[in-house]
Amino acid sequence: MNFRLSHTLISLLFAAAPLVSAQAQEKVLNLYSARHYQTDEALYNGFTQQTGITIKRIEGKEDELLERIRNEGANSPADVLLTVDAARLAAAHEMGLFAPLRSQLLEARIPAHLRTNDWFSFSIRARVIIYAKGAIKPEELQNYSDLAHPRLKGKVCSRSGSHPYNLSLMASIIAHQGETKAEEWARGVVANFARPPKGGDTDQIRAVAAGECAVALSNTYYLARLMRSDKPEDRQTMDRIVVVWPDQKGSGAHINVSGGGVLKSAPHREAAVKFLEYLASDQAQRYFADGNNEWPVVAGVKVSNPALEALGKFKADTLPVGSLAMYRPKAQMIFDRSGHR
């Protein structure tokens, strides 16, 4: 009798084991992230507090993470990939890493032009023009096209044409104006270079402030970070430049995005979907804005960021972010032919 009872108990325990294991799995999320911001800690902690799901995070450079996921294949432990810029998100899509996802919550909260069928934007940075105070007449620098005007010869600084931020901008110009005009623009900008392309966006801002050149492009995230800095030299840098919202009478300022998707190999898919839906919540959207100087993608979210407020409201380009991927190879070829390397 005791043997039968023990045998029954053991059988029940073994039968319950898969259920216990599945429940345990739901309390873990493996996140691969190319976002290297300390402020994101609050974002992740908020998710764990709400759901009880622990985030195990691996951080790395964008291209390295994509290659790692591809090499891991079906055995990859990654549930979600977060990265910056539509070009990199599109690359993950082209590599077949993302799984299609339908979510009523995400579709309701994130505008259609900021999502695809397998990845979603969660924050926005705009690509703006900056110039040195007194160096340019404001009316002469209102649009991206003005960067190619001969009057700016020897005055433009830029980072590499192969960087995703510039590739996304070029892709948008191709989408709006066609390849011929896009290449004319690229050649005009190169003819106006004050020096060969080098450095990142912050380096371009400092170069303009220091008088190394008069004009450059930058993502707003870098400007807001300098605006909120406690360092006197950063404040001085911002005091010496003017920020221009481009193409406000046309298609609007080009935007870059930070976003992510659920991976095909995700072992914790339910947790992964919950995490993406959490990123579209008011709480998470405020973290993006207040903690990391990015604009929310969800309309009506109240933020408290003096730098974003100082930059002001703007008209953003509503070109679907997914369509930028179609023009990315052409964008690179145009930059190569024009000498913007």
Query: Is the domain of 246 the same as that of 278?
Result: no
Give CA 17 to chain center in angstroms: 41
Query: Is the domain of 158 the same as that of 37?
Result: no
Residue 149: HSE in the Cβ half-sphere, 13 Å Cα cutoff: 13
Across the 341 residues of the chain, what is the mean pLDDT of every consecutive 10-residue run?
A: 45 44 67 87 94 96 95 97 90 94 97 96 97 97 98 98 94 97 98 98 98 98 96 97 98 95 97 98 95 95 95 96 88 97 92
C-alpha closest to that of 99 among 260, 259, 258: 260
C-alpha closest to that of 260 among 237, 233, 287, 279: 279
pLDDT of residue 5: 42
Query: Is the domain of 245 the same as that of 160?
Result: yes
Query: Is the domain of 230 the same as that of 322?
Result: yes
**CA-CA distances (angstroms) from residue 262 to 6, 47, 79?**
43, 16, 6
Does residue 253 sit in helix, strand or coil?
Answer: strand
pLDDT of residue 26: 57
Q: b/e for 183-200, b at 16 or more Cβ within 10 A?
A: bebbbbbbebbbeebeee
Does residue 156 sit in helix, strand or coil?
Answer: strand
Q: Are strands 255-262 and 120-132 parallel, antiparallel or unpaired?
A: antiparallel
Query: Is the domain of 147 the same as that of 245?
Result: yes
Query: Is the domain of 204 the same as that of 334?
Result: yes
Give me the CATH number covering residue 161.
3.40.190.10
Total tally of structural domains belonging to the chain: 2
Question: Which residues form the domain of 238?
Answer: 125-254+318-338
pLDDT of residue 21: 46
Residue 312 belongs to some domain of the structure: no
pLDDT of residue 22: 46
Residue 48 belongs to some domain of the structure: yes
Query: Is the domain of 196 the same as that of 325?
Result: yes
Compute the distance between CA of residue 164 and CA of residue 86 in angstroms, rounded to an integer. 8
Query: Is the domain of 170 the same as that of 85?
Result: no
* Type of residue numbered 266: A
Residue 328 belongs to some domain of the structure: yes
pLDDT of residue 8: 43
Query: Is the domain of 233 the same as that of 110?
Result: no
Compute the distance between CA of residue 311 and CA of residue 215 in angstroms, rounded to an integer. 18
Compute the distance between CA of residue 144 and CA of residue 47 in angstroms, rounded to an integer. 39
Residue 14 belongs to some domain of the structure: no
Residue 300 near residue 69, CB atoms below 8 Å:
no
Query: Is the domain of 75 the same as that of 133?
Result: no
Residue 135 belongs to some domain of the structure: yes
Residue 49 belongs to some domain of the structure: yes
What DSSP designation does 76 have? Answer: -
Does residue 33 sit in helix, strand or coil?
Answer: strand
Query: Is the domain of 236 the same as that of 264?
Result: no
Residue 238 belongs to some domain of the structure: yes
Compute the distance between CA of residue 253 and CA of residue 7 in angstroms, rounded to an integer. 70
Residue 145 belongs to some domain of the structure: yes
Query: Is the domain of 275 the same as that of 220?
Result: no
Compute the distance between CA of residue 92 and CA of residue 322 in angstroms, rounded to an integer. 12
pLDDT of residue 323: 84
